[in-house]
Structure 1
Amino acid sequence: MATLKHISSKNSDYTAIEAYLVYQHDAFTGKQLLDEQGKPKLRDSYLLDTLECGDFSFATACLLANRKYGKNTQHGDIKSHQYIISFDPRDAADNGLTMEKAQALGLKFCEENFPGHPAIVCTHPDGHNHSGNIHVHIVIGSIRTREVERKPYMQKPRDWREGMKHSSTAQTMRHLRVEVMELCEGAGLYQIDLLNGSKERVSEAEYWARRRGQLKLDRENAALTAAGQQPKQKKFETVKDTLRKQISSVLYRATSFEDFSDKLMQQYGIAVKESRGQLSYLPSGRTRFIRAKHLGDKFDKAAVLVTLQANAERKPKAQFKQDTIGKLVDIQAKLKQGKGIGYERWAKKHNLKAMAQTLILLEEKGLTDEDALDQRIAELDTKFHESLTVVKDLEGRMKANKELRYHVAAYTSTKSVAQQLKAAKRPAAFEEQHRAELTAYRAAAAYFKANNITKLPSPKKLEAEYAQLASEKAKFYEQYKEAKEELLKLKTAKQNVASFFREEELAQQER
């Protein structure tokens, strides 16, 4: 599943770029690693080529271009752009991907998409996370040194005229992602759909914060383990990770934007604001808001409103039943927190009603004996988890079935367009006109290849299989739901009885 990443740089030291590609660097500090003699250590393996540099080095070619066109003279000017194509770790074993082949693909990609720019193309055999993925760095000087032929994807003069600066816009990135998908398709490599946004967006800074935090946490846990203590936390979470979890926990229970913002503030101290149609979140303890686009797609305004609307439509189906048991309130603790006399009166009435409901339930179930109650809770807990396991398994199979049906439908509906491309007189124009259909066709073909599907299954059989899975899920889900409801009631009843007798004991001691 090749991915594409873009990094722009304002560093005017172009030699530092080549040094990073050639020499070993510390993954966290970014500093060059030195050998015993104090000299920079070369990387164990790499391939490097330059394009559009003439007889000069990449750094010299970029500096000459800056001087010739009078650009990149300010500190804030973008001096270079780096695009990183990371291939799937499985490609080496399954599809015969080598560093030489990856370098050739990188050179081809650079020639076709960044003509006229001084460029370095460098391939490394492994990522800094030791995942085994071959990846290609393509670094281009920001200024085009010659005018190039206009191609269908080029929209503005800056995309082909001499002396203009490269701009990595959303439209440019979309084109380049399609190019990466087609590059992998033509080379027979694994690929995913790069056109759909990620549900969770992790920036470069957050990625490294995760790695540094996890490394520190691992060291602390190792020290605790050596001292015979059990670590409390094994996975490090950034501020954004925690914020995503907290927002999600509230989002799926709120039914309006006011309810959503109120619950976030009450439960987690998170403030929400809207500016220019975009949401931002301010966690407790911070002074600057975090924009939704830096957290993920499901946290932006449109997605939040859709989820809240869906919750509001489901609310009538989730009304509490008449036999729902309320939990006893710890009145003394609430009074110490500053609650007034009015709250105390309400809490006493609430506790009387909750205790009456508790006694009625236990008598109806014949569970007034503590041992019988504990045994029934254990039985329901087992039934609850067994049903949940089956439901999760069926949901996974239904998801795979739905994904397969989607790709079968997409492949069938776009196959004729792919065949027309072969006979088109102007392939480039036809490609641009039918880009969406061809992308869907190639994504479906890549999915079939990745899952070793050589014969398309019948849509009717897939629908029948999905209906059968849905029927089984409904049956087990009903068992899960019934066990969960009764389990929650009995646990609440047990907790209420314990709280009641504890309050009585405290009152007796006071008397």
Structure 2
Amino acid sequence: MATLKHIASKNSDYSAIEAYLVYQHDAFTGKQLLDEHGRPKLRESYLLDTLECGDFSFATACLLANRKYGKNTQHGDIKSHQYIISFDPRDAADNGLTMEKAQALGLKFCEENFPGHPAIVCTHPDGHNHSGNIHVHIVIGSIRTREVERKPYMQKPRDWREGMKHSSTAQTMRHLRVEVMELCEGAGLYQIDLLNGSKERVSEAEYWAHRRGQLKLDRENASLAATGQQPRQKKFETVKVACRGEAPPFAAQTARSLKSPTGAFVASQTRTLRKQISSVLYRATSFEDFSDRLMQQYSITVKESRGQLSYLPSGRTKFIRAKHLGDKFDKAEVLATLTANAARKPKVQSKTTNLAKLIDIQAKLTEGKGIGYEHWAKKFNLKAMSQTLILLQEKDLLNEDDLNQRITELETKYHNALAVVKDLEGRMKANNKLRYQVAAYASTKSVAQQLKTAKRPAAFEEQHRAELTAYRAAAAYFKTNNIIKLPSPKKLEAEYAQLASEKAKFYEQYKEAKEELLKLKTAKQNVASFFREEEQTQQER
């Protein structure tokens, strides 16, 4: 499944781009790696071609274009654009993708979509994360050096006129994604839908935060191993997992951007936040249930504003918008998932739920829960206490002695029914095993009789080892259990059906007693917690 990535560069040193593609660089600092003689180390494998450069190098062609058209003179001007097409690692084995074929596809893509721009097309056999994905770098100078034929996707004069600068707009990226999908389809390669966004979006900050965190963890584990200690964690899990594909060419800039406290904090929380929201999203069946579970389990507040969802994890003061987390966390996708859950789990909805326990708010606040959790917990306790009173009124158990007596009766009923169910399950298991041995004995008895009259007993035994083993195991079972006369299979089946019927009856009694017992015990606990909290409040007053 090929992906497309765009990187705009303001670096006026065009030779640095070619050096990045040709020489090895440190993934985190962006510096060239040197050999023992202090010379830059070439990449182990790459293919490189230039387009629209004439007799000049890519760097010279770009500088001449800048001088000719008087552009890219300011520090903040975008000097070049890089597009990276990363192919699926399976394409090499399943679809015969080679570096040569990928380079040809990259050249074709560049000629059709960036005509008139000086360009470098370079293919690498693998990415930073060593997933084995062949990928193509297409780097173009920002200025078009000749006027080209206007094509249907070109909307503004800058898209075809000489001396105009390339602009990577949302419309341009949509067109290029369609081109990548059609390119892979024509070449028989794996491909996904690039037009519908990412379910879990990965930012550059998250990518590099994960890489740096994993490197630091590996070094710490190596130090522990050297002293004979066992590492507690081997995989860095506090930031989002990196996506397949190549990291940006100027990795040092990206790495330095992570030193911002705000950026590092957001990157370190994003993966955990996604996992927490996802774990709740796939179990909830309504938006109210979704928001309640998020607050109760993870102290995450969710709000809707202008048709968009935002999430506030514990420890933050500013909401994180869904669009920064991924498409599956926005309003439309969340509501669609909740609707699907409700349609898929009708039994869970109709099942009688247990009575909720009151939350010890002070204890939760001591653990570090915020004011948002406190407001939610107070509402939750009021609802739980209301349900408790309704239950006790329905059962006519408002008196404490009556409640305790009913709990005792239910405990006796519960344990008695459970004992009968366990006994019946044991008898059913024995019946099932006996039926199996009777069937095995009957099906292999003739083979055992043939063994007695066989002319070559050893050869016959070897040929029918499985049948004879089953026969002897059945005979040993009958002898161990003092079974002289074998029971009828039909009689055993009828006995099993009778046991199953009795078990179902007692199991229903066991379930009813257990369900009511849990509710009444919870109700008793809620009443005690409520009056204890009231007493503390009065003492404080």
Residues 134-180 of structure 1: per-residue CA shift (max 9 Å, x gap): 21100011121111111222222222111222222232222222222
Shift of 1:300: 1.5
The answer to whether structure 1 residue 280 and structure 2 residue 281 are counterparts is: no
Residues 204-229 of structure 1: per-residue CA shift (max 9 Å, x gap): 22122222223333444455566444
TM-score (norm 2): 0.60
Q: Secondary structure at the match of 1:11?
A: coil
Paired AA for residue 55 in structure 1? D
Distance 1:319 1:304, change over 3 A: closer
Which of these residues, 289, 298, 302, is aligned with residue 328 of structure 2?
Answer: 298
Paired AA for residue 55 in structure 2? D
Shift of 1:269: 4.0
Paired AA for residue 326 in structure 2? G
Distance 1:91 1:15, change over 3 A: same
Residue 237 of structure 1: aligned partner? 238
Q: Secondary structure at the match of 1:4?
A: strand
Q: Secondary structure at the match of 1:366?
A: helix
Contact 1:49-1:122 within 8 A present in 2 as well: yes
Q: Secondary structure at the match of 1:279?
A: strand
Paired AA for residue 213 in structure 1? G
5 Å-filtered alignment, 1:246-257, equals: 246-252=276-282
Residues 328-384 of structure 1: per-residue CA shift (max 9 Å, x gap): 6687975996999xx899699899799888656543332699xx69x89xx9xxxxx
**Percent of pairs with identical residues:** 76
Residue 145 of structure 2: aligned partner? 145
Residue 108 of structure 1: aligned partner? 108
The answer to whether structure 1 residue 364 and structure 2 residue 394 are counterparts is: no
Distance 1:24 1:202 in 2: 25
Contact 1:48-1:120 within 8 A present in 2 as well: yes
Distance 1:77 1:93 in 2: 42
Distance 1:366 1:14 in 2: 81
Higher-Rg member (1/2): 2
Distance 1:356 1:212 in 2: 62
Distance 1:60 1:305, change over 3 A: same
Contact 1:326-1:354 within 8 A present in 2 as well: no
Contact 1:251-1:308 within 8 A present in 2 as well: yes
Q: Secondary structure at the match of 2:34?
A: coil
Distance 1:48 1:335, change over 3 A: closer
The answer to whether structure 1 residue 96 and structure 2 residue 145 are counterparts is: no
Contact 1:62-1:118 within 8 A present in 2 as well: yes
Contact 1:48-1:123 within 8 A present in 2 as well: yes
Paired AA for residue 58 in structure 1? F
Residue 128 of structure 2: aligned partner? 128
Shift of 1:57: 1.8
Residues 259-309 of structure 1: per-residue CA shift (max 9 Å, x gap): 655654565344445555433333333455433222111111322344456
Distance 1:62 1:112 in 2: 20
The answer to whether structure 1 residue 69 and structure 2 residue 69 are counterparts is: yes
Paired AA for residue 240 in structure 1? T
Distance 1:334 1:237, change over 3 A: closer
Paired AA for residue 74 in structure 1? Q
Residue 7 of structure 2: aligned partner? 7
Contact 1:25-1:32 within 8 A present in 2 as well: yes
Distance 2:144 2:361 in 1: 74
Distance 1:244 1:354 in 2: 44
Residues 24-61 of structure 1: per-residue CA shift (max 9 Å, x gap): 01122222111122222111111111111122221222
Residue 203 of structure 1: aligned partner? 203
Paired AA for residue 9 in structure 1? S
Shift of 1:196: 3.1
Distance 2:36 2:410 in 1: 77
Q: Secondary structure at the match of 2:121?
A: strand
Distance 1:77 1:169, change over 3 A: same
Contact 1:224-1:231 within 8 A present in 2 as well: no
Distance 1:315 1:161, change over 3 A: same
Distance 1:365 1:75 in 2: 79
Q: Which moved more, 1:127-136 or 1:106-115?
A: 127-136
Distance 2:52 2:212 in 1: 38
Residue 426 of structure 1: aligned partner? none
The answer to whether structure 1 residue 53 and structure 2 residue 53 are counterparts is: yes
Residue 19 of structure 2: aligned partner? 19
Paired AA for residue 282 in structure 1? L
Paired AA for residue 177 in structure 1? R
Contact 1:3-1:86 within 8 A present in 2 as well: yes
Residue 215 of structure 1: aligned partner? 215
Q: Secondary structure at the match of 2:48?
A: strand
Residues 47-76 of structure 1: per-residue CA shift (max 9 Å, x gap): 111111122221222222223333333333
Q: Secondary structure at the match of 2:101?
A: helix
Paired AA for residue 248 in structure 1? S
Paired AA for residue 217 in structure 2? L
Distance 2:364 2:197 in 1: 49
Residues 67-109 of structure 1: per-residue CA shift (max 9 Å, x gap): 3333333333322111111222233333332222221221111
Distance 1:23 1:234, change over 3 A: closer
Shift of 1:255: 6.5
Contact 1:328-1:355 within 8 A present in 2 as well: no
Distance 1:331 1:367 in 2: 34
Q: Secondary structure at the match of 2:21?
A: helix
Paired AA for residue 208 in structure 2? W
Distance 1:332 1:5 in 2: 48
Distance 1:354 1:140 in 2: 80
Distance 2:358 2:53 in 1: 76
Paired AA for residue 293 in structure 1? K
Contact 2:358-2:385 within 8 A present in 1 as well: no
Contact 1:53-1:61 within 8 A present in 2 as well: yes
Paired AA for residue 175 in structure 2? H
Contact 1:250-1:264 within 8 A present in 2 as well: yes
Residue 371 of structure 2: aligned partner? none
Residue 157 of structure 2: aligned partner? 157
Structure 2: which 5+ residue stretches go unaligned?
240-268, 367-373, 393-399, 427-503, 529-541
Paired AA for residue 140 in structure 2? I
Contact 1:358-1:493 within 8 A present in 2 as well: no
Contact 2:81-2:140 within 8 A present in 1 as well: yes
Distance 1:97 1:12, change over 3 A: same
Contact 1:328-1:354 within 8 A present in 2 as well: no
**Count of matched residue pairs:** 391
Distance 2:9 2:405 in 1: 69
Distance 1:185 1:334, change over 3 A: closer
